[in-house]
Amino acid sequence: MNLAVEACKLCGRAHFDALLNKDGFDLARCRACGLIFVSNPPTDEQRAHLYSFESGYHAVLDVDEASKAFHEREAALNLRVLRRHVQTGRLLDIGCSTGIFLNAARASGWPGQGLEYSSDSSKIAREAHGLDVKTGELRADSYPPNSFDVVTFWDVIEHLPDPLATLSLVGGIMAPGGLLVLKTPNADGLYPRLSLRLAHRLGFWGHAEPPGHLYQFSVATLTRLAQQAGFDVVAVHHQRIPVSYSFGSVRGWFRSLKWAAYCAAFIPLVWMGPLLRQGDDQVLVARRRSERATAGPGAARPA
């Protein structure tokens, strides 16, 4: 295992188990807390290139109709989940890309702001859609205290080099009792968990997407992350990642006998997962803890 990470970013321990190598990146699991992470993450320069149009990142998101429609459907689903918990408020969407979710929120009466690491994507959000979007990563001076009632991370937290440090900063810009929403793949979902058992034999684990995804969170590790950052978890919604995203089009399922067998074995688990509260996608909703409150057990309520 190529180990550039000295300690777990969640619990601080330094004892890891190697899982597998994918696309030149080593996946490891912390023995203490169970967090799965890339043990040889890309450098800052490599990350900057990764999230540029030059590398292909979201380069056609605003012009390709199929890609745009896919993300608009996801944005509508995200907005429905959010409105189960709050109807309006001062919104910040971190990792907003070209602003598709912010557009959907604005159309529903949520005039929000965005923060996007990619300069190419954030430029589209500002210039093509007229959205209030900053470029860069969240820092202590990015926004004044008490600026937002809701902060969302839609498929973003797994991309961050230090999720705990970022969420700790989020608490400083939110109103007391503000709502945090984290959507990310669930490494302990039915499909990811069972397919990982065969990963060494097959030399493949479809769930992980390094180097973009630096972390693979379970409900347990995501809950711990939110709690350590000063939030109390109020709900976890189990969802499924679209089958077309994880396995490709139906025609592609039959590109080889081995892949056809893999699809036949695991696609049903993707559909079953949310029904068993073991979806391969999760949305964790948490509230900013009162400064005088102490951290409780914070058990998540599945939904």
pLDDT over threshold 60, residue 296: no
CA distances to 74, 91, 217, 279 from 238, rounded to whole Å, are: 14, 23, 13, 5
Are 301 and 236 contacting, i.e. CB atoms less than 8 angstroms apart?
A: yes
Residue that is written with structure tokens 């990146």 in the block: 25
Are 263 and 247 contacting, i.e. CB atoms less than 8 angstroms apart?
A: yes
- DSSP-derived letter for residue 217 is B
**Tokens for 2?**
């190529």
Average pLDDT, the chain: 92
What is the Rg, in whole angstroms, of the alpha carbon atoms belonging to the chain? 19
For domain 46-288, give its CATH number from 1.10.3210.50, 3.30.1370.10, 3.40.50.150, 3.30.465.10. 3.40.50.150
Read off the pLDDT of residues 224-281 as tens digits, 9 standing for 90 and up.
999 999 999 999 999 999 999 999 999 999 999 999 999 999 999 999 999 999 999 9
**Tokens for 231?**
């939030």
153 pLDDT tier (thresholds 50, 70, 90): very high
Report, as an integer, the average pLDDT of 131-144: 97
Read off the pLDDT of residues 27-57 as tens digits, 9 standing for 90 and up.
999 999 999 999 999 999 999 999 999 988 8
Q: How far apart are CA 224 and CA 141, in angstroms?
A: 26
Q: How far apart are CA 131 and CA 202, in angstroms?
A: 45
> In the chain, what are the domain boundaries?
46-288
